[in-house]
Amino acid sequence: MDKKLFLTRIALLALFSSAIFASDLTRGIALTSGEQDWLNEKEAGPILMNMKYEKNDSIPATNIAKEHQKELTKIGNEWFFMCDEHTIHRTEVTKWVLGLTAILGAVIWAIVFWNRKLSREISERRNIEKELQSSENRYRSLCNASFEGIIITDNGVIIEANTVLSQLLGYPVSDLIGMEAVEIFAPKVRDDVKAKTQARYEKTYESVALTKAGIEFPVEIQAKQFIYKNRQVRCAAIRDLSTRYKAMAALRESENKFRAVVTGAHDAIIMIDGHGKVMFWNKAAERIFKYAENEIMGKNPHEKIATPAFFKKFKEVYPYFQQTGKGGAIGRTIELTALKKGGEAFPIELSLSAIQIEGKWCAIGVIRDITKRKKMEAELKRLATTDALTGVDNRRSFMEKAEHEIRRAQRYGNRFAMIMVDIDFFKSINDKYGHQAGDLVLQKMTQTVKSALRESDIFGRIGGEEFSILLMETDRETALLTGERIRSCIEGLSITAEKETIHITVSVGATFFKEGDDISTL
* Greater pLDDT, 247 or 114: 247
Residue 83 placed within a domain = yes
Question: Does residue 358 sit in the same domain as residue 399?
Answer: no
Q: At which of 100, 129, 158 does a domain end?
A: 129
Q: Which domain, by its residues, includes 158? A: 146-240
Q: What is the pLDDT of residue 42?
A: 43
CA distances from 484 to 294, 417, 458 (A): 65, 14, 17
Is 204 strand, coil or helix?
coil
- pLDDT on residue 33: 39
Assign 263 a pLDDT band (cuts: 50, 70, 90): confident
pLDDT, position 31:
41
Indicate the range of 1-15, 155-169, 238-252, 389-403 predicted with least confidence.
1-15
Q: Which is more confident, 91 or 516?
A: 516
Concatenate the DSSP letters of all residues of 308-375 into one string: HHHHHHHHHHHHHHHHHS--TTBT-EEEEEEE-TTS-EEEEEEEEEEEEETTEEEEEEEEEE-HHHHH
Q: Is the pLDDT of residue 104 over 80?
A: no
Rounded to an integer, the average pLDDT of 105-128 is: 71
Tell me whether residue 137 is in a domain.
Answer: no
Q: What is the mean pLDDT of the chain?
A: 80
The structural domain count of the chain equals 4
Determine if the pTM surpasses 0.75. no
Could you tell me if 314 and 405 lie in one domain? no
- Residue 106 falls inside a structural domain: yes
Instruction: Indicate if 308 and 395 belong to the same structural domain.
Output: no
Question: Is residue 80 pLDDT above 60, yes or no?
Answer: no
Q: Alpha carbon 165 to chain centroid distance?
A: 26
Kindly state whether residues 11 and 89 are assigned to the same domain: yes
CB 383 within 8 A of CB 356: no
Tens digits of per-residue pLDDT, 318-352?
999 999 999 888 989 999 999 999 899 999 999 99
Which residues pair with residue 500 across a beta bridge?
A: 497
State whether 205 and 107 are in the same domain. Answer: no
| Domain CATH code at residue 276 | 3.30.450.20
Convert the pLDDT of each residue in 13-68 to its tens digit: 555 555 554 444 444 443 443 444 444 444 444 444 444 444 444 445 455 455 55
